[in-house]
Chain A
């Protein structure tokens, strides 16, 4: 469950089960969620509402809002969240997705 990630992970913390877009994933408990997802090979975190362009973490310090994901129904900055057991992560979809789903 580690697609070829551009990152090397030195983290040794025990892993817990989370899900991303419904698929299971194991991430280090207590790790920074954005960092853990990057290390697990997730590069695209969302698509923008303006043009549908792909985005991923940019600043890692809570300033840029590019790493937004939906967690348990709330839009959150992944770089400001710690990994915990059972997180349900949904990657916000592209242009018009809200209208289609509604």
Chain B
């Protein structure tokens, strides 16, 4: 089993920036990434794709190549295509690559596992043809596969970004069915100071909106009662806009109402999480360096709370400084001297966030779905099932899981966990923190007996 100073999990902006900064400071680093090529979701496959579709995707995408270049360092072992399924104290990380199991070890670990789309349970959301907006972007980025007849449903900056990219690619969306309301914008105006400090983001947003308007994409802000219709695949979206019922035919639906931290790996290690009311999600409790309450476990990027790619990169560098200082490669004075400019840049990156979070809140109809709507896609458990279990006295998600199997399927609660917590909290009149979340245990991803059988027996404590 090979040993490094630091293991980084995830090769998105946070993971790549951490690894290259730590390597520059003299540490040996292993980067395990599930994808076959570096970049994470935001810079997915950037080294190959920038030349092919850089014009459609824009400079915010192609600049990711500066980060992937940083992985070419002799002190960095980049392991692509590695699916991590267990992280044990000490730390020993088990993963599968090309059908074979393997383990590596390090004193410290940095989780850069990024974000997931916030679950958006609506009637019909399990139909083929309904995907996340992030999935739509991945299809475009990595594969050059464009939806010819897509409705975009939800709200937030990513929805406008994909709409603008679809316009540039010559396949504009058939409609934008938007869930934010006029009063959301009025409430958000209280955060206008931050929005002005984060003006580059606001300017980009206005440019995207102008592109969408020029392409005459129909927009329906403040839509309610949204349902996706179809038998074997999505055929239409119906909704109410300004008191009138609409039905828009389409073959693809991209859903989005924000992204949330992917906390699976952190939770499996026992890192404590807290409800973040402004972002309506759980986020790990971290100090100013990204260190968690489990010694040696650091978290950077969107997995620590949603901040976007630039903030992720800066948080990764800050964590690398702390790891280098703890490993004796950097004095505390030098650590703090190098951290100061990173901290002010990080604050600037986050300045527009409270405005955006308030202007584009999660869709109420998906936070509290009607009883018949499936909320656990794997086990096909409905919102009504969970409310029924609450009536029987079910207080938390782990009990609900035992009652209903919600969260017990292959996705292990990634796309139902927040919904189940919210439904139980609402039904029982408790807070999200009191209600809690699923207990996450390894294996974090399915692993076969064959893959286990190929594990090296180098560690004496693994032998029976």
Chain A residues within 8 Å of B, Cβ to Cβ: 6-11, 31-32, 35-36, 38-39, 43-45, 48, 50-51, 53-66, 68, 74, 80, 82
Contacts and interface: CB of A to CB of B under 8 A. Distances in A.
A80 B44 CA distance: 13
A56 B410 CA distance: 15
Count class of interface residues, chain B: 35 or more
Contact of A58 (B149, B233, B377): B377
Interface stretch (B128-136, B210-218, B283-291): B128-136
Majority secondary structure, B binding face: loop
B134 A58 contact: no
A64 B120 CA distance: 13
Interface stretch (B140-148, B266-274, B430-438): B140-148
Contacts of B414: 63-64
Contacts of B336: none
B380 A35 contact: no
Contacts, number: 116
Given A9-B143, A56-B131, A58-B130, 14 more contacts: A6-B252, A7-B145, A43-B232, A50-B379, A51-B380, A53-B380, A59-B116, A59-B117, A59-B132, A59-B135, A60-B139, A64-B414, A68-B410, A80-B83
B280 to A, nearest CB: 19
A58 B131 contact: yes
B2 interface: no
B378 A36 contact: no
A66 B34 CA distance: 17
B233 A56 contact: yes
Contact of A39 (B132, B143, B233, B378): B143
Contacts of A62: 34, 83, 445
Given A55-B126, A63-B415, A74-B448, A7 B377 contact: no
A11 B41 CA distance: 19
Report, nearest first, the 7 A-B pairs whose CB atoms are least far apart: A56-B128, A10-B144, A35-B143, A6-B251, A60-B135, A65-B410, A60-B138
Contacts of B378: 65
B144 A59 contact: no
Contacts of B399: none
Contacts of A55: 126, 128
A66 B305 CA distance: 26
A6 B377 contact: no
B135 A10 contact: no
A11 B377 contact: no
Majority secondary structure, A binding face: loop
A60 B134 contact: yes
A95 to B, nearest CB: 11
A36 B171 CA distance: 18
Contacts of B148: 6-8
17 contacts: A8-B146, A10-B52, A32-B143, A43-B233, A44-B232, A44-B233, A54-B232, A55-B126, A55-B128, A56-B129, A58-B132, A58-B135, A59-B135, A62-B445, A63-B415, A65-B378, A80-B34
A20 to B, nearest CB: 15
Contacts of B126: 53, 55, 66
Contacts of A54: 127-128, 232-233
Contact of A59 (B134, B171, B445): B134
A7 B146 contact: yes
A16 to B, nearest CB: 15
A60 B145 CA distance: 12
Contact of A60 (B83, B131, B171, B379): B131
Contacts of B83: 62, 80
A64 B128 contact: no
A78 B249 CA distance: 27
A45 B143 contact: no
A54 B445 CA distance: 23
Interface in B80-102: 83
Contacts of A68: 410
Nearest to B142: A32
B365 interface: no
B39 to A, nearest CB: 12
A94 B128 CA distance: 15
A36 to B, nearest CB: 7
Interface in B346-401: 377-380
A64 B53 CA distance: 27
